[in-house]
Structure 1
Amino acid sequence: MGAEGGGRRRALRLGVYVGCGAVLLTGCASMPDSGDLRGVESTPRQDAQVRVFAMPPREDAAPAEIVQGFLEALTSDDPQYETAREYLTGDASKKWRPYKSTTVLADGPNPEPERTRNRETGDDFAYTLTGSRLAKVDGQHAYAPDSGAYNGTVHLTLQRKTGQWRIDALPQGVVMGKSDFERNYKSVNKYYFASNVPAGTSGQLGTVADPVYVRGKVDPVTAMVTELLKGPTRWLAPVARSSFPTDTELKKGVTSLAPDDQNKLTVPLNKKADRVGRTQCTKMAAQLLFTLKDLTPTGVDEVELRRSDGSTLCDLGEDQAESIASHRTGKPTESEYFIDGKQRLVRLSGGSNGKDPEPVPGALGEGAKKLRAAAISRDEVTAAGVSFDGSSLYVGSLVSGASLGEAVLHSAGPTEKDRLTTPSWDGGGDLWVADRDPAKSRLLLLQKGSGEPLEVRTPRLDGRIDAVRVAADGVRIALIVERDGKTSLQIGRIERETKADGRADVSILELHSVTPQLEEVTAMSWAGDSRLVVVGREKGGVQQMRYVQVDGSTLPGSAPVSLTGVQQIAASEDERLPLVAYSEDGIVRLSSGAQWQKIMKEGTAPVYPG
């Protein structure tokens, strides 16, 4: 964050802590004693072990230096922003709420001097902070894309008792540039249990990921436990529940948590959890294990929950947690499915090299009905196929000799592009598909893949659905929505109710775009508990492939190897499985750490179960 200016420059003092391998920077950047201010440019990304600490204000520092130092202190790894508060008056420090929000700008905030109220006395200054907004992280640590101009005012006063300049008025929360945000913050999934969804095929509880951003080098374990106890974020709360009793917190006086050398984490709770039974307690511990699994270098393998008096409430290991709840990906799969050159549904083992795909058992693999797209249930027992012209949807068993009945759904769209989308199965065994008929475009749900199609309400949908993918948890849905020639990827919340007559009422609520920077989205697929892979392009740009979080954020350096001419993409919520795509080269596969590998020339519509 090298802000330039006149006068001598302040040196950086480096201290190396040999035991932990962390470099402590006693200043985020050199700062001017006087002169004009320039933007607090985002620092380059640094090694994950490097921790950055800020300088306190220098004696007799000028107003420009105070503002610069404060803004840089916001990007440090100071746990409670103690150094940043040294730049404030006592009253301003009491009123300032740094955890209210974090505003992310394209570059660091640019301070511009304003007119002062007391130009004659010269005992106050004001600066306007400007920049271009990219995102905002709210008080629940939930990320949301943002755009437009940022403006905030920082006012300084000359304190009479000390003769030092200090900030006496400032915006609530913190503000920083994109690079500093990526260095400071880490995206982590909290895990809750999906509520009001059909029972999964395994009969286990289903988890749903709730991504939040926490400061990655400021005791993230304690931060994530604290956030998990608070419950789901506002967007997810209507369809997710926690096993922790309301108002459960860490025991008073517990300020830091860390796993021991056996990767066991002990969590003392307050009295709200004292009377919890063992069954509920193990569900609570499972939530913690899922949440903390990848947060530390070695992970957390076991959790012990304790009552307020210090006695053990329950303990749970990682293997036991998997038996309590699943991530709703169904049984593990190594098969990749697609439509071959004869318009049949075929499958190929993910580890196969040089082997030809084989038709699936049952009528959909026999070629009696020519297909253009298909979806495989998560237990790989049933498949749904869309006819080659897009007008009909068939559901059949993946068992040798199984016959295929009449179509379960028809579309009257005038062209192939105006008919049925590729269907999608949720974790409860329900089948989703969109009919793109311009005269009656709609989203439909077939419970257990059969019966009368249920029209799903989409009250805030602005456009026509071009693609549908339901998350394994059954409470989130991804849609490619077309409007006025532009397409966007939107995430919605699935809410279910049962009417008085016993019929189901299903709605998609609070749809929001997670790719506002893309003008065209060609294809997408779920690629993790809270991640999707997206193919699209920015305005005036070329086609690109990237990973996008469900909150709209992108993780640095996570884009797949580039591939041209991609029309369809398939990924699994199991992130260990390769990407599969249909491109100008046919069906291709991308394994971790490898290049794209051609599977076969004649084939389209690749899918994993789901």
Structure 2
Amino acid sequence: MSATRAGRTRVTAALAGALCLLLLLTGCISIPRSGPIGQIDVDSSEPGQVRIDPDGPVTGASQDQIVRGFLAAGTGSASNFAVARSFLTDDLAASWEPLESVWVLKSGHSLDSINSEVTSDSQTVSLTLPVQAHIDSTRVYREAAADSERTVKFTLRQVNGEWRISKMPAGIVVTPANFSSMFQAHSLYYYTPDFKYAVPDTRWYLRSGSAGRELVADLLAGPADYLKGAVVPAVGSGRGKLGVGSLSVSDGDAAVELSGDPQLSARDAERLAKTVALSLQSMPSVRDVTVTGAGMPEDVDTANLPNTEVEVPGRPVVLQDGRLVELGGDRTSSLPLPAPKKGAGNPARDYTGRVFAYLAAGERELHRMTVGGRKDTVVVRGSSLAAPSFDRFGWLYTAESDTGRLKVVGPDGEMKTLKAGFLSKRTVTAVRVSRDGSRLVVLSTGSKADSRLDYIGIVRDSDQAPRELSGDAPLSAGESFSDLRDVSWAGTDTLVALAALESGGDLQPYTLSSSGMFAARGSVSEGTSISAGTDLRSMRIGTRAGDVYSYQGGAWQKLVGIKSYEPAFPG
């Protein structure tokens, strides 16, 4: 049996920012009991994890009391939710799966405040629950649309003269405060198809001693649906089934023994060990990881874990006096580019720093031009085109409103159309490709002016050209906001956005992650655009008046003497 040891993951500034969003919920910063599930008070003190010991059923309890007692007992996970099971008949108690579905009540609501209906035969109790999030059987956190409700029906019968629940849906219902106490987010890591970067796939786990084993098992089972085909596991299908034989953690050292005999090559074994180590080190209790079993060869090297961060080269571009110029520090410098068409907006720059794009003609034209070139070429025409974005392979993305399709232009002018049914009848305002090229975030609004962010994977062909999206079930975010105006990537799994929580409220900068968490990042008046490079320190906000603000030391500073608009980092 061979062993591989991975050193502690080198966490870059951007990855630290992304992980911090996860850690904010789970220990170092508390979530308020009121307000949206994801809102984080960045000045709060650590509350610590609270053990909840609910009460069991009392003699003579009514049907409604049994149902409410069961729901309340779902917050106590001790002994595999033993107290909650005591409200069920023996058959149901043996088959009930509490973590198959976790529903989070809307903030400001409690189980006591929700009315119930009891049928005339006194055997069915129904409750309509206002919900704001759902954790599915794969442990993926999915925000619910505004004003979402879920009706739950419980069938009861008497056992030895006492009412017990005999039929109901799987899962539990928790308040936001109980959710933050019971669950913790961790990242599974998969590779981009070229194996150049590791991509996080965030899942939520019950705080328990089995979380690490469950995490590795989920990693081996493959990525979440919204990432399938866009990221790849270390070991592909057809190599034999892998499992978790055992996992133990002692003084920060995790020892993982894999089961199965998948006939791993040295390259696959190394990739597998690295993703196991990187994924487990998203747990604060783990520093080093040893992987054995499953035919691991003796010479597997995990000294250097997969790169999780793409460096964003070059400076942001801004619009100034009718031209595209480069913003460096507190000054701008000219670029050898043709003057853009009058009314230009929504600039974008590729990762080489040599190719630029912008919208013009009332957002009906997408233009592209190259440093040193004389041509300003219209590459896409359409109605209400979305703010564009480049991927690291040079492909340029936009969308036309209400069509349910994305339009993508290659470096050589090749045009592709990607179906995105989830955007049908929605106005797409921005398309942003993740730095590693594996994911899209799309900002759109519906007929009721409801703003939403959708995460979806990009499936590529062997030449790294985008082929399709990962199905039509994206991971939605930002449902807690009444308005979302602009968005940018700021690292591996961190977004920055201009948003307002209340209807008619001022737009302010926020950070968001695919875990469902978000945090306010100070205040800037009249912001209209936001962009970032590798991390939060690179954030820039442009205002309606032409002011540009940078984020330094946790505060916003106006760049004096610069009158320019819409700063945009490469990508």
**What range is the shorter-chain TM-score in?**
0.7 to 0.9
Residues 451-484 of structure 1, C-alpha deviations (whole Å, 9 max, x = no match): 3433444455324433221112323222233554
- Counterpart CA distance in 2 for 1:327 and 1:138 is 26
Are residues 111 and 246 of structure 1, via their aligned partners in 2, closer, same or farther at CA, if it must alter by over 3 Å? Answer: farther
Of all paired residues, the percent bearing the same amino acid is 18
SS in 2 for 1:320: coil
Match of 2:199 among 197, 205, 208: 208
- Counterpart CA distance in 2 for 1:235 and 1:156 is 38
1:83 aligns with 2:59: no
Aligned to 1:224: 215
- Counterpart CA distance in 1 for 2:380 and 2:153 is 57
- Report 1:517-556 matches (<5 A): 517-518=480-481, 520-537=483-500, 540-545=503-508, 546-550=510-514, 553-555=516-518
- Counterpart CA distance in 1 for 2:527 and 2:97 is 46
- Counterpart CA distance in 2 for 1:132 and 1:503 is 42
State which drifts further: 97-106 or 384-393: 384-393
Determine if contact 2:226/2:470 at 8 Å carries over to the other structure.
no
1:213 offset after TM fit, Å? Answer: 1.6
Aligned to 1:582: 542
State which drifts further: 215-224 or 230-239: 215-224
1:385 offset after TM fit, Å? Answer: 3.4
SS in 1 for 2:70: helix
Aligned to 1:377: 350
- Counterpart CA distance in 2 for 1:76 and 1:598 is 52
1:327 offset after TM fit, Å? Answer: 3.3
Are residues 230 and 505 of structure 1, via their aligned partners in 2, closer, same or farther at CA, if it must alter by over 3 Å? Answer: closer
- Counterpart CA distance in 2 for 1:314 and 1:66 is 59
Determine if contact 2:269/2:297 at 8 Å carries over to the other structure.
no
- Counterpart CA distance in 2 for 1:51 and 1:539 is 31
Determine if contact 1:494/1:509 at 8 Å carries over to the other structure.
no
- Counterpart CA distance in 2 for 1:182 and 1:420 is 39
TM-score, normalization: structure 1? 0.72
1:516 offset after TM fit, Å? Answer: 4.0
Are residues 235 and 597 of structure 1, via their aligned partners in 2, closer, same or farther at CA, if it must alter by over 3 Å? Answer: same
Give the number of the structure with larger relative contact order, counting CA–CA contacts within 8 Å between residues 6 or more apart.
Answer: 2
1:608 aligns with 2:569: yes
Give me the CA root mean square deviation.
Answer: 3.8
Aligned AA for 1:407? D
Aligned to 1:340: 320
Determine if contact 2:226/2:471 at 8 Å carries over to the other structure.
no
- Counterpart CA distance in 1 for 2:399 and 2:58 is 66
Aligned to 2:50: 51
1:510 aligns with 2:472: yes
1:519 offset after TM fit, Å? Answer: 5.3
Determine if contact 2:368/2:379 at 8 Å carries over to the other structure.
no
- Counterpart CA distance in 2 for 1:100 and 1:477 is 28
Are residues 308 and 189 of structure 1, via their aligned partners in 2, closer, same or farther at CA, if it must alter by over 3 Å? Answer: closer
Aligned to 1:280: 268
Aligned AA for 2:349? I
Aligned AA for 2:498? V
1:141 offset after TM fit, Å? Answer: 0.8
1:232 offset after TM fit, Å? Answer: 1.0
- Counterpart CA distance in 1 for 2:531 and 2:393 is 20
Aligned to 1:15: none
State which drifts further: 487-496 or 139-148: 487-496
Structure 1 residue runs of 5 or longer lacking an equivalent are 1-21, 23-43, 119-124, 398-402
Determine if contact 2:57/2:87 at 8 Å carries over to the other structure.
no
Residues 552-589 of structure 1, C-alpha deviations (whole Å, 9 max, x = no match): x334xx222233311101123x4353321112461111
Are residues 239 and 148 of structure 1, via their aligned partners in 2, closer, same or farther at CA, if it must alter by over 3 Å? Answer: same
Determine if contact 1:582/1:588 at 8 Å carries over to the other structure.
yes
Aligned to 1:356: 331
1:561 aligns with 2:536: no
State which drifts further: 208-217 or 478-487: 478-487
State which drifts further: 173-182 or 142-151: 142-151
SS in 2 for 1:510: coil
- Counterpart CA distance in 2 for 1:381 and 1:151 is 53
Match of 1:305 among 284, 291, 295: 291
Are residues 225 and 578 of structure 1, via their aligned partners in 2, closer, same or farther at CA, if it must alter by over 3 Å? Answer: same
Are residues 478 and 79 of structure 1, via their aligned partners in 2, closer, same or farther at CA, if it must alter by over 3 Å? Answer: farther
SS in 1 for 2:169: coil
How many residues in Structure 1 have an aligned counterpart in Structure 2? 512
Are residues 432 and 112 of structure 1, via their aligned partners in 2, closer, same or farther at CA, if it must alter by over 3 Å? Answer: closer
Determine if contact 1:305/1:313 at 8 Å carries over to the other structure.
no
SS in 1 for 2:178: helix
Are residues 433 and 450 of structure 1, via their aligned partners in 2, closer, same or farther at CA, if it must alter by over 3 Å? Answer: farther
Are residues 129 and 564 of structure 1, via their aligned partners in 2, closer, same or farther at CA, if it must alter by over 3 Å? Answer: same
Aligned to 2:260: 271
- Report 1:148-227 matches (<5 A): 148-160=148-160, 166-195=164-193, 204-216=195-207, 219-227=210-218
